[in-house]
A and B are shown apart, each in its own frame.
Chain A
Amino acid sequence: MGVKLLLEKAHVPGIRYFETYRKEGGYRAVEKALKQMDPASIVEEVKKSGLRGRGGAGFPAGMKWSFIAKPEGVPRHLVCNADESEPGTFKDRYLMEFIPHLLIEGLIVSSFALGSNDTYIYIRGEYAWIVDILEQAIEEAKANGFLGKNILGSGFDCNIYVQRGAGAYICGEETALIESLEGKRGNPRIKPPFPAIEGLWRRPTVVNNVETLAAVVPIINMGGDEYAKIGVGRSTGTKLISACGNINKPGVYEIDMTISVEEFIYSDEYCGGIANGKRLKACIPGGSSVPILPANLLLKTAKGETRYMNYESLSDGGFATGSMMGSGGFIVLDEDQCIVKNTYTLARFYRHESCGQCSPCREGTGWMEKILKNIDTGKGKMSDIDLLWDIQRKIEGNTICPLGDAAAWPVAAAIRHFRDEFEWHVNHPEEAQKRNYGLAHYADPIHVPA
């Protein structure tokens, strides 16, 4: 049984309300931070904890905080990125829905550390009911003196506002989020300047994921050094994984990043194995943007070592034989799933969500989608596969924001690992509509725990 820091109390009845949350030991971090610590020491604790951004990129949160510019007389802002739109990722939703006060508490502490008096939660428009939950939590915190003016007599003022997005994936990118929060079209900005220098309303801004900010609470409670002891290597602390796809127990799991991928998929504590007694074919381990991995490379790295559920191990082997931790959207595909169709679905998503600002992404995502549709529906040509490869290569790295990369990587990985399946689709267009191909080749020596 792994350590649980975030979701430990998530199922206590009534934890959504202030009284219960407080009774269960909530808001201790705010008291400790505001009464015993100063902003610099909080940043120091977060740095010591080794907490990495949970939104996808895995950038160390403490370092991000220390980059924030502190010009005289200019307000600073903290923005919580709750625009969780990555297909396969639903961990923030779970956290905000069940234990909203944990996020509010993390936000108060982080705002104090960064000197943000006006803190924003930018939440995706589809999470309409969570807006109500969060607003209620904010009201309760305000009524109990944890928000508003002069919190706990420390002289620190903080207000939290919830802003709904209008349902664009691109607004999860931090600069597009800032633009959208300012009331503009959600186009990513060109960096530099980075938000830490010039963000929301051209003021220094830090944008963090919901889970990152919630993790600040246990870090303050237990200390950065203690937190860093959980986990392994540079993957410290616990991570929420939202597992979905063809598994027996889809849901959000908190793991301490020391368990192996095999244990995560097959143990009853977590996913509980592949549904309906099928076999594992492939997995997208970190949300739809990260490269897909075939079963043999998922469970063992190319060197033959066991692959673990942490940042380093999942990206072992680079993109050639590895993937990424990403945002923790763990999508499992069983033997019945068609990789071509799956890739087409992802390409369609990125085509729809591209903001249309820079040319490679705007035109390239649509082009890839059309070619994949042709291959999927049996109209593909062999040359299309090479063309797809060339298109993704020309999108990747040439765009303003990472959406271009996110659109290119799944296509690249699918072709890299499942090229024969694409070729089979081209050569057997009619058969491809009826049955699936390619399982035995990929998932042979799998030991299924009893």
Chain B
Amino acid sequence: MSEQPLFKVTIDNITVEVPAGTTILNAARKIGGDVAPPAMCYYSKLEGSGGKCRTCLVEVSKGSEKDPRPMPKLVASCRTTVMDGMEVKNITSDRVMDARSGVVEFLLINHPLDCPVCDQAGECHLQDLSYEHGKAGTRYEFQRRTFKKHDLGDKIQLHMTRCILCYRCVFTADQLTGKREHGVLDRGDHAEIATYIEKNLSNEFIGNVIDVCPVGALTDKTFRFKNRVWFLKPMDAHRDCPTCSGKVTLWNRGDEVFRVTARKDQWGEVEDWICNTCRFDKKQTSDWVIEGPRLIDRHSVISQGHYAGKVGTHKPTETFEAVHAGRQPKLLMDIHSVSEVNKPEITLSKLDRPAHSTDFTSNKD
């Protein structure tokens, strides 16, 4: 790798040097923070993934040092490689933010938004995305597209209604299991992930499709409706597994293991694929050697409160203003900054009647 030339690329006014052949998305992830575009379909561990969801669109305002012309269209940063001297605008471009909110709207019009009963809630990429870019109301006034639930074997359930067709599970099955038994049927807005003739997916590594699914379309049947992820405590653990690396994250409540997943990095991507035995069958604390709490640095409900921590990212704190072009950095789910409830000047106990919304709003000016 060392003989490869380093390319200078500037993303949202922050310059990094990356080897030739790096995609814009990976260069932005090197910077980290809000500069990294969201990715719903790209998965760095899966070859050929990306380019489909269009949430990572960025504006290339300068093609390269040699050819400084800007690219006319927004490009998918996950599949566009950097050129030397390239200048990219992500969150500093209104065009990008507009397109991205459009994509989020498109993704949500047929999504059931059943987060309250969805097992993925709390660690769902679409949920994060819609918090950041979505609107409170919908402009879609038609019946949403629905599918029947399917069991892909006794451990995995496919809930196609929630699917955003990122193709990640298809790539996973292709590249991990050798023989893919499910795929995409049909076309357009009635396309669906299916096994054609209803069939068990029985490969030893097929459980990983649950981890790569960015939404709640593929869920672990051994964990279904057992608990909410934010009530569970993620713990790194390992065991001596004959088929896989055995490095997992246990999701505990007390001593009880509710579910086992692969360890995910800060971008929500699996670090080591794990086998079905580790994932579905080893649900006793005694099966595992506990290493310690898992730090989750994600824009997610889980990371609120006690589990926030950095996993070795370099955050461009000194250039935050430049990055945001004068805008305030937004903290996801930080209720205290937008709500007046915890303002010290309002002492609810001093009111001799039930509190009313005007008690809070009157303090605004």
Contacts and interface: CB of A to CB of B under 8 A. Distances in A.
B109 A367 contact: yes
Contacts, number: 89
A351 B189 contact: yes
Q: For B50, B74, B99, B183, which residue has the most chain A Cβ atoms within 10 angstroms?
A: B99
B73 interface: yes
Contact of B189 (A168, A190, A363, A400): A363
B188 A364 contact: no
Interface string A358-386: 11101111110010000000000000000
A387 interface: yes
A342 interface: no
Interface string A188-214: 001000000000000000000000000
Nearest to B40: A359
| Secondary structure call for the B interface | loop
A362 B189 contact: yes
B187 A355 contact: yes
Interface stretch (B52-60, B231-239, B262-270, B341-349): B52-60
A135 B50 CA distance: 39
Contact of A359 (B53, B140, B187): B53
A360 B106 contact: yes
Contacts of B73: 397-398
A370 B145 CA distance: 12
A352 interface: yes
Contact of A357 (B79, B102, B103, B165): B165
Contact of A362 (B55, B76, B140, B191): B191
Interface string B85-112: 0000000000000110011011101100
A265 interface: no
B109 A398 contact: no
A360 B51 contact: no
B103 A366 contact: no
A187 to B, nearest CB: 8
B225 interface: no
A367 B140 contact: yes
Contacts of B76: 190, 400
Given A358-B54, A387-B139, A398 B103 contact: yes
B189 A394 contact: no
A375 to B, nearest CB: 13
Contact of B103 (A354, A360, A365, A397): A360
Q: For A353, A359, A362, A365, which residue has the most chain B Cβ atoms within 10 angstroms?
A: A359
Which 3 residue pairs across A and B have the least CB separation, nearest first?
A394-B102, A356-B191, A363-B106
Contacts of A364: 106
7 contacts: A353-B187, A355-B188, A356-B187, A363-B107, A365-B188, A370-B142, A393-B102
A400 to B, nearest CB: 6
A185 interface: yes
Interface string A400-442: 1000000000000000000000000000000000000000000
A366 B74 contact: no
A351 B142 CA distance: 15
Contact of B99 (A358, A363, A398): A398
Contacts of A367: 106, 109, 140, 142
B54 A399 contact: yes
Nearest to B102: A394
B169 to A, nearest CB: 15
Given A354-B188, A356-B191, A362-B106, 13 more contacts: A185-B184, A351-B189, A354-B189, A358-B54, A362-B189, A363-B109, A364-B106, A366-B189, A367-B140, A387-B139, A393-B102, A398-B99, A400-B52
A397 B188 contact: no
A356 B186 contact: yes
B160 interface: no
A420 to B, nearest CB: 23
Contacts of B191: 355-356, 362
Contacts of A387: 139
A121 interface: no
Contacts of A170: 187
Contacts of B188: 351-356, 362, 365-366
B164 interface: yes
Interface of B: 50-55, 57, 73-74, 76, 79, 98-99, 102-103, 105-107, 109-110, 139-140, 142, 164-165, 167, 183-184, 186-191
Contact of A190 (B51, B55, B57, B74): B51
Contacts of A397: 73-74
Interface residues of A, number: 28
Interface in A143-161: none
B194 to A, nearest CB: 13
A398 B139 contact: no
A367 B142 CA distance: 8
Contacts of A168: 187
Contact of B52 (A354, A358, A365): A358
A362 B165 contact: yes
Contacts of A359: 52-55, 103, 106-107, 164-165
A447 B263 CA distance: 74
Q: For A353, A356, A399, which residue has the most chain B Cβ atoms within 10 angstroms?
A: A356
A394 B79 CA distance: 20
Contacts of A394: 98-99, 102-103, 105-106
Contacts of A352: 188
A398 B102 contact: yes
Given A170-B187, A362-B189, A366-B188, A356 B165 contact: yes
Nearest to A360: B106
B80 to A, nearest CB: 8
Contacts of A366: 110, 188-189
Contacts of A398: 54, 57, 73-74, 99, 102-103
Interface in A21-58: none
Contacts of A362: 106, 165, 188-189, 191
Contacts of A393: 102
A195 to B, nearest CB: 16
Nearest to B143: A370
B8 to A, nearest CB: 21
Contacts of B98: 394
Interface in A89-137: none
A352 B189 CA distance: 8
Contacts of A185: 183-184
B197 to A, nearest CB: 17
Contacts of A351: 188-189
Contacts of B110: 363, 366
Q: For A170, A357, A387, which residue has the most chain B Cβ atoms within 10 angstroms?
A: A357
A398 B52 CA distance: 10
Contacts of B184: 185, 356
Contacts of B51: 190, 358, 400
Contacts of B55: 359
Contacts of A360: 54, 102-103, 106
Nearest to B166: A359
A399 B102 CA distance: 12
A190 B53 CA distance: 12
Nearest to A397: B73
